[in-house]
């Protein structure tokens, strides 16, 4: 495989569908990565957080590449055993990671290994911030698609998201603003 063909592997992320709606279709994983990058840039500027901006961007750009082979697994209040589903997805993602690093150009493969390890370890400020951004982006996107919220409750949303936001005051503030909006506009169902 040529270097150019190997690089084009990344472009397959454009065709990976997420649960989220965009007009009459599903959002692609690449679209989610892009909007997460813009959101991260805005929040870094607004909060004046002392963070390695480039590392955050790289973590966000590469985070969802495993979905090329593993697909996307959304959180869903209708799934009875969410924990079991998440464990199965982690296994699929780990297998996808090992397959993907063999397909990428060597230089990108090395970089991706480093970013993936940092993302999985979830210890650096940058990895925690990138995760919080990706989680917030998914919910902000869905504020335009009320029908996708069927079955969701404030309690479920808080249980799944607050753990990612608590270390970042501005992100937590935006999440609380979102919760108020969702209530005011009848997004949560019983």
Residue 50 lies in a domain: yes
- Examine residue 170 and state whether it is found in any structural domain, yes or no: no
Residue 151 has pLDDT above 90, yes or no: no
Range of the domain at 85: 3-134
What is the percent of the chain where pLDDT is above 90?
75
Q: What's the CATH code of the domain at 7?
A: 1.10.3210.10
With contact defined as beta carbons under 8 Å apart, do 147 and 21 qualify?
yes
Is residue 141 situated within a structural domain? no
Phi first, then psi: what are they for 19, rounded to 5°? -65, -35
Q: Is residue 159 in some structural domain? A: no
Question: Which segment of 6-20, 26-40, 48-62 scores lowest on mean pLDDT?
Answer: 6-20
167 within a domain of the structure (yes/no): no
pLDDT over 70 (residue 54): yes
- Residue 159: the pLDDT is 92
Q: How many domains does the chain have?
A: 1
Predicted local distance difference test score (pLDDT) of residue 77: 67
Q: Is residue 152 part of a domain?
A: no
User: 132 near 167, Cβ under 8 Å?
Assistant: yes
User: What tens digit of pLDDT does each residue of 118-128 get?
Assistant: 999 999 999 99
Q: What is the phi/psi pair of residue 13, to 5°?
A: -60, -25
Q: Judge whether 182 and 154 are in contact, CB under 8 Å.
A: yes
pLDDT the model gives residue 112: 96
Residues 6+ apart with CB under 8 A from 152: 77, 187, 188, 189
Q: How far apart are CA 183 and CA 185, in angstroms?
A: 5
Question: pLDDT tens digits for 95-117?
Answer: 999 999 999 999 999 999 999 99
Q: What's the CA gap between 143 and 153, in Å, rounded?
A: 14
The answer to whether residues 28 and 18 touch, using CB atoms and an 8 Å cutoff, is yes
CB distance 72 to 18 below 8 Å: yes
Is residue 139 one of the residues assigned to a domain? no
In a domain, 105, yes or no: yes
């Amino acid at each position: 495989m040529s270097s150019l063909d190997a690089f084009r592997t990344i472009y397959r992320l454009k065709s990976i569908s997420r649960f989220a709606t965009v007009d009459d279709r599903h959002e692609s994983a690449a679209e989610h990565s892009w909007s997460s990058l813009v959101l991260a840039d805005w929040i870094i500027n607004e909060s004046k957080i002392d963070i390695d901006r480039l590392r955050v961007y790289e973590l966000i750009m590469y985070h969802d590449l495993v979905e090329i082979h593993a697909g996307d697994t959304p959180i869903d209040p209708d799934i009875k055993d969410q924990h079991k589903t998440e464990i199965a997805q982690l296994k699929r993602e780990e297998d996808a990671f090992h397959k993907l690093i063999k397909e990428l150009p060597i230089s990108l493969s090395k970089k991706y290994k480093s970013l993936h390890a940092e993302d999985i370890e979830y210890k650096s400020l940058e990895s925690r911030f990138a995760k919080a951004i990706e989680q917030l982006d998914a919910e902000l996107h869905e504020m335009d698609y009320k029908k996708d919220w069927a079955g969701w409750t404030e309690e479920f949303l808080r249980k799944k998201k607050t753990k990612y936001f608590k270390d970042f005051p501005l992100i937590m503030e935006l999440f609380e603003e979102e919760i108020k909006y969702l209530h005011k506009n009848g997004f949560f169902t019983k």
